Amino acid sequence: MAEIAIKGVAKRFGGFTALHQVDLTIADQEFMVLLGASGCGKTTLLRIVAGLERPSQGEVWIGGRRVDHLPPRERGIAMVFQNYAVFPHLSVFENIAFGLRMKKLPQQEVERRVNRTAELMHIEQLLKRYSGQLSGGQRQRVAVARALAMEPDVILMDEPLSNLDALLRLEMRAELKGVLAASKTTTIYVTHDQVEAMSLADRIAVMHQGRIVQSASPVEVYRNPAARFVGSFIGNPPMNFIPATKAENGSWTVAGLTLSGPKSDKPRIEFAIRPEDVDAGGEGLRATVRVIEPLGPHTLVTCDVEGGLFRAILDSNASVQVGDDLRLAPKPDRIRWFDPETTNAL
């Protein structure tokens, strides 16, 4: 049983606040992905859970035990470092075996685990080499194997696949997920690759400027962004936002279209829709086509709506030309509204 609870954790570096009041609970055996732009505090949060950094404020609990005063080695964790930290003076084999040797496991068991994890990460032919003789991607896989070999209750991974080619990343991703599920490991996985986040996570915690903006299932995060940032960060292309002005209470005018929306006393709010949630034709948003990008199964159309960019994903046999005036009808159940001041969903 290794539930992780982060309670009111803040971290300041001198005058700079890297984390503000982070609260997050990761259930036993859950696969939690931390997703966020570069510099938003993902590594800092992970290092606080690992015990490599002290929180300025707040508590960290692992498996029902308060751990903020414990050194990393007493927290029952393993970690993949963003910069790998593969020991240069040890062979790949000894690197993977490092934690097992610290635990004084019998040689036979060490060999079994090293070989198994090395095979999993496709580095079994590199076991005799040294870090200096490996490529970046190989080094990264050594770092992952070293953590997996520990068979820990909790594994913390900081962008563990960032340096692999697309194909290998896809394969490793699937294997990681399988292995960690089978070993019932509680995982915190940091990435800024949203596809990776979507495909791996039980839950995604989206971070922005030192705060967790939303933590929910991948579908929920995608469908119902809790804040404007989440909608604009997740999805490729991201969500479209258009200013909406009040028509009467509960209905709003958006690019020439009147839609029923939330009741609010604000004169202006924001309308949002995902590119794939519009249909061409009929009663819709007035749009002028600027760029057309056929992507095979569908076509990405970039338009002007109300003087702003708007991206729509249309069926590939829709016949549109650059310069066309289109009507894009949003699917009513997919429309979201945001408060422009707080940026929160309405």
Partner 1 sequence: MHGKALPYLLLMPATLFLCIFFLYPFALVAFEAVTRDGAFTFDNFRTMAGSWKFPVTVRNTLLLAAIVVPIQLTMALLMASVVSRLETGRSAALYVFAIPLGISDLAAGLIWLAIFDQSGFLNTLLSSLGVVDRPVMFLGYQSKLTIFIAVALAEIWRATAIMMVILVAGMGLIPKEYYEAAEVFGASPWQRFVRITLPLLRPSLQTAIILRVILAFEVFAVVAALGGTNLPVLMGETYNWQFTLQDRNVAAASALLILAISIGFTLFFLRVLRVPKEARI
Report how far residue 145's alpha carbon sits from residue 53's, in angstroms, rounded to the nearest whole number: 24
The binder of ligand ATP chosen from 2, 6, 26, 42 (CB under 6 A): 42
Residue 186 engages Mg ion in binding (rule: CB under 5 A): no
Residue 185 in contact with Mg ion, rule: CB under 5 A: no
Binding pattern to ligand ATP, positions 71-90, x when CB under 6 A?
-----------x--------
Q: Give the C-alpha separation, 128 to 272, whole Å.
A: 55
The CB-of-152 to partner 1 minimum distance in angstroms stands at 10
Q: Which of 24, 33, 79, 212 binds partner 1 (CB under 8 A)?
A: 79
Q: Least separation, in Å, of the C-beta of 327 and ligand ATP?
A: 40
Residue 241 structure tokens: 């936002």
Site for partner 1 in 95-134 (CB under 8 A): 98-99, 102-103, 129-130, 132-133
Q: 177: Cβ–Cβ under 8 A, 6 or more apart, which residues? A: 31, 199, 200
Question: b/e per residue, 57-96, with b = 16+ CB within 10 A?
Answer: ebebebbeeebbeeeeeebbbbbbbbebebeeeebbbbbb
Cβ within 8 Å of residue 235, ≥6 positions away: 194, 222, 274, 275
| H or E element in which residue 340 lies | none
Three-class SS of 252-268: EEECCEEEECCCCCCCE
Which of the residues 3 through 32 are near ligand ATP (CB under 6 A)?
A: 13, 16, 18
Residues 127-166 that bind partner 1 (CB under 8 A): 129-130, 132-133, 146, 150
Selected binder of Mg ion within 41, 43, 95, 139 (CB under 5 A): 43
Q: How many CB atoms are closer than 10 A to CB 5?
A: 18
By the criterion CB under 6 A, which residues form the site for ligand ATP? Answer: 13, 16, 18, 36, 38-44, 82, 192
By the criterion CB under 5 A, which residues form the site for Mg ion? Answer: 43, 82
By the criterion CB under 8 A, which residues form the site for partner 1? Answer: 50-52, 71-73, 77-79, 81, 83, 85, 87-90, 98-99, 102-103, 129-130, 132-133, 146, 150
